[in-house]
Amino acid sequence: MSRRNGFTLIELVVALAVFSIAALALLRLEGATLQSTADLRERMLGQIVARNIAIEALSDTTSPAFGRTAGEEDNGGRAWRWTRIVRRTSDARLQRIDVAVTDEAGRPAGALTVFRLVSG
């Protein structure tokens, strides 16, 4: 009885199947990573817009009016919609300023709350 060195057809098919499953898993992982990176970039840019709007409200010489203000801001080559709500706090000397930012599709992209001394 002679033994032959090498792999049988069944062994090759099993090895290829295992390799194919591993390759598909890596491709799927890459897709999920790319999507997560895109989502993170979206939120980062939205947060930058929210900070810009908040800084404008904080650095103005007069306090912003109470109520709701909305607008659009261009950043990162895209248009972002923002809403700023200025409310009274339990301390009459402070204003609460809430800023919310959405992307072009209306999905939330950033939010920030700051407090400011009321200027007279």
Please report which confidence band the pLDDT of residue 5 belongs to, taking 50, 70 and 90 as the band edges. confident
CA 92 to CA 41: how far, in whole Å? 38
What is the pLDDT averaged over residues 101-117? 94
Please report which confidence band the pLDDT of residue 1 belongs to, taking 50, 70 and 90 as the band edges. low
CA 55 to CA 47: how far, in whole Å? 12
The model's pLDDT over 12-26, given as tens digits with 9 standing for 90+, comes to: 999 999 999 999 999
Task: Give the predicted TM-score (pTM) of the model.
Answer: 0.73
**What is the model's pLDDT at position 17?**
94
Domains belonging to the chain, first-starting first, are 9-117 (3.30.1300.30)
**What is the model's pLDDT at position 76?**
84
Going by C-alpha positions, the residue among 46, 35, 50, 119 that lies closest to residue 85 is 50
What is the pLDDT averaged over residues 101-112? 93
Query: Taking all residues of the chain, what is their mean pLDDT, rounded to a whole number?
Result: 91
For the chain, the three-class secondary structure string (H helix, E strand, C coil) is CCCCCCCCHHHHHHHHHHHHHHHHHHHHHHHHHHHHHHHHHHHHHHHHHHHHHHHHHHHCCCCCCCEEEEEEEEECCEEEEEEEEEEECCCCCEEEEEEEEECCCCCEEEEEEEEEECCC
Q: Answer whether residue 65 shows pLDDT above 70.
A: yes
